[in-house]
Chain A
Amino acid sequence: MSDSIRAICMPKWGLSMKEGTVAGWLMDEGDEISSGDEVMDVDTEKISSAVEVSESGILRRQIASEGDTLSVGDLLGVLADEATPDADIDAFVTEFQANYVPPADDEEDGGAATETVDVDGRSIRYLLRGEGGVPIILVHGFGGDLNNWLFNHEALAATRAVYALDLPGHGASSKDVGEGGVAALAAVVSGFMAALGIDKAHLVGHSLGGAIALSVALDNADKVASLTLIGSAGLGADIDGDYLQGFIAAERRKDLKPHVEKLFSDPALVTRQLINDLLAFKRIDGVQAALETIMAAFAPGGSQALVLRDRIGDVAGPVLAIWGSGDRIVPASHAEGLPGNVRVEVMAGQGHMVQMEAASEVNRLIDELIG
């Protein structure tokens, strides 16, 4: 059988994904596919996105059809070169399907279960994927958690270790946020690196996480290999204070949904499950106080307290700033006029969650920066 045959499988987006429903193919049989191309739209109970392939070849077979619900890892389609005979592809499909075992309900994420580490008395949850190289650390924004990177984490981990952490007050980390501002949270990220023995890392930060990553890079020049800032705070005073306040105040689905919709360019991505997950987070004891403390220190009165724009030129390594042109939380105008050491990419029509909505492009830019 030709070794050019490659399976396209149902991806696993986030720890809890068990299955996905095919919303439609984006490529036809016979199309030439390059690594990084999006081939299919898939809906899950939490989110919808495109399946990106990491191989190249011709799409020889569409196995899954629109409306099919398939378990993680099941066969969606087959890539192969032109020369591969149809009979070989048939044999490959038969063999794959005969051997495929859907993941058990209680199975953890292929060994990639979250772990916790003590950082100066706080328990910090993180998820590590991949191994080797200078690692990447992914730092989410206000109200987020490590799942904000579900479309980036695995792709970036193909060639190196990638850590995604939950900031204090978020996800499953301790709810004690200390003073709560960018500096306090940056100290936790530095402490996280020290606790795990990470001497040097590429930092990728989104929103508040961008300001935190920038702050770490400025204070620890020798520990940060590169810096990627996505829809980042810390580069100007403007921020949508109504969003922050509304996210904190909302106690029920109807109140929260309009605020969360502001994050995305496509509001249809804000599923009921996404809102339910956010409410479940907000309802945990201590979260409300943590978010209020962070807001009071980070954006008192709806305006960012710490602007590091003048110092971004001092960052030692390469810096990439990615923005959605339609970002309604932190305006894309903050990407203008940055010094020459910062590569700026503004994506037309994208919103604040650009790393989720334009994941393959964001992943490509980060890979390019890191090399």
Chain B
Amino acid sequence: MARNISYQQAIGEALAQEMERDETVILMGEDVAGGAGSPGEDDAWGGVLGVTKGLYGKFGDRVMDTPITESAFIGAAVGAATSGLRPVAELMFIDFMGVCFDQMFNQAAKFRYMFGGNAETPVVIRTMYGAGFRAAAQHSQCLYPVFTHIPGLKVVTPSTPYDAKGLLIQSIRDNDPVIFCEHKALYTLEGDVPEEAYAIPFGEANVTREGDDVTIVTLGRMLHVAHEAADALAKEKISCEVVDLRTTSPMDTDTIIESVENTGRLVVLDESHPRCSIATDVSAIVAQEAFGALKAPIRMVTAPHVPVPFAENLEDLYIPDAGQVQQAVRTVMGKD
């Protein structure tokens, strides 16, 4: 039965239920077992945000603390996946993927292809992304477009507790490497989540609000910004349809195109930078596949092409907000 729990609890529950169901599922990462120098204690922190709290007590050495060596433990997780385990590695910040590019891009993403379809790499990298945490330029980026670019990786960006649980279970059961991107600002978000395990298939966007005038395609934390904008625009009698991509690879282009064919207008809202992003990708797909349906040029709302600022006032300005989305919608409506 569904009850109200947080995004953070939904992720912890998905891990616990899959570890219970399948003993090949293991966890590894910095502080995932204990943390603060006290590995293994039941009351230990459980990762920087407590997502894995309590799992060591239940599953013992299937929950492994690693040294601060991202390239080594991500590589170890990939290797373990090729030899029969289903590792879930926690990479504290997505920004740290910099030192793991070879393991992910050249190894994990390529094994199935280079071994003629005979190798599988069922590894999940859970990782925290996004601005708004006063964590500065090296701990705040939205790097999901980088992974979306690489064939062989699957990229997941849940926006709600319900999606976080169902998509993480699917990620663990999936036989390909999955980058599971958790937005820092969403961990405390609460929502209805069934107690039972369930899997949400990849490549199925969720139309979270139906509307007639404009399609807003978005993902992750920005879904909630899109809804805030759509609520405000409803008062101006502008009806927005909101499409949450849920996964950027594979991407559900059918749902995007179907929606744009109904509304004739598109605003893409993406917290990543404006170049080579999900915003540009979605815009290009629609321009190519549904140009005839468009009544106005596509607008993109993204962060600017600068590193995430550490100054609080500048960081707040950096993150796309509902006002910018409203302005973009008015522009495509010819009402600015």
Write the residues of chain A forming the contact surface with B, with a CB cutoff of 8 angstroms: 106, 114, 116, 125, 172, 175, 251-254, 272, 276, 280, 283-286
Contact = CB atoms under 8 A, between A and B. Distances in A.
Which range contains the number of B residues in contact with the other chain? 10 to 19
29 contacts: A114-B1, A116-B1, A125-B1, A172-B1, A172-B2, A172-B194, A175-B196, A251-B201, A252-B201, A252-B204, A253-B204, A254-B254, A272-B207, A272-B210, A276-B206, A280-B194, A280-B198, A283-B166, A283-B198, A283-B199, A283-B200, A284-B194, A284-B196, A284-B197, A285-B196, A285-B197, A285-B198, A285-B199, A286-B196
Contacts of B200: 283
A276 B200 CA distance: 11
Nearest to A253: B204
A36 to B, nearest CB: 32
B210 A284 contact: no
Nearest to A114: B1
Contacts of B166: 283
A252 B199 CA distance: 12
Contacts of A114: 1
B4 interface: yes
Contacts of B1: 114, 116, 125, 172
A280 B166 CA distance: 9
Contacts of A172: 1-2, 194
Contacts of A280: 162, 194, 198
6 closest Cβ pairs, A-B complex: A172-B1, A283-B198, A285-B197, A284-B198, A284-B196, A285-B196
A283 B210 CA distance: 23
Contacts of A175: 196
Interface in B1-54: 1-2, 4
Contacts, number: 32
Interface in B190-219: 194, 196-201, 204, 206-207, 210
Contacts of A106: 4
Nearest to B166: A283
Interface centre among A172, A283, A286 (most CB of B within 10 A): A283
Contacts of A286: 196
A300 to B, nearest CB: 27
A253 B200 CA distance: 12
Nearest to B210: A272
Contacts of A253: 204
A125 B197 CA distance: 17
Nearest to B204: A252
B206 to A, nearest CB: 8
Contacts of B201: 251-252
Nearest to B196: A284
A285 B17 CA distance: 11
A286 B17 CA distance: 14
A272 B209 CA distance: 9
Contacts of B194: 172, 280, 284
Interface string B211-240: 000000000000000000000000000000
A284 B194 CA distance: 8
A113 B254 CA distance: 39
A35 B207 CA distance: 39
Given A125-B1, A280-B162, 7 more contacts: A106-B4, A252-B201, A254-B254, A272-B207, A284-B194, A284-B197, A285-B197
Contacts of A272: 207, 210
A252 B200 CA distance: 10
A253 B243 CA distance: 14
B14 to A, nearest CB: 12
Contacts of B4: 106
A175 B196 CA distance: 10
Contacts of A252: 201, 204
A265 B176 CA distance: 43
A207 B1 CA distance: 24
Nearest to A105: B4
Nearest to B203: A252
Nearest to A175: B196
A280 B200 CA distance: 8
Interface string B72-113: 000000000000000000000000000000000000000000
Contacts of B162: 280
Nearest to A282: B198
B212 to A, nearest CB: 14
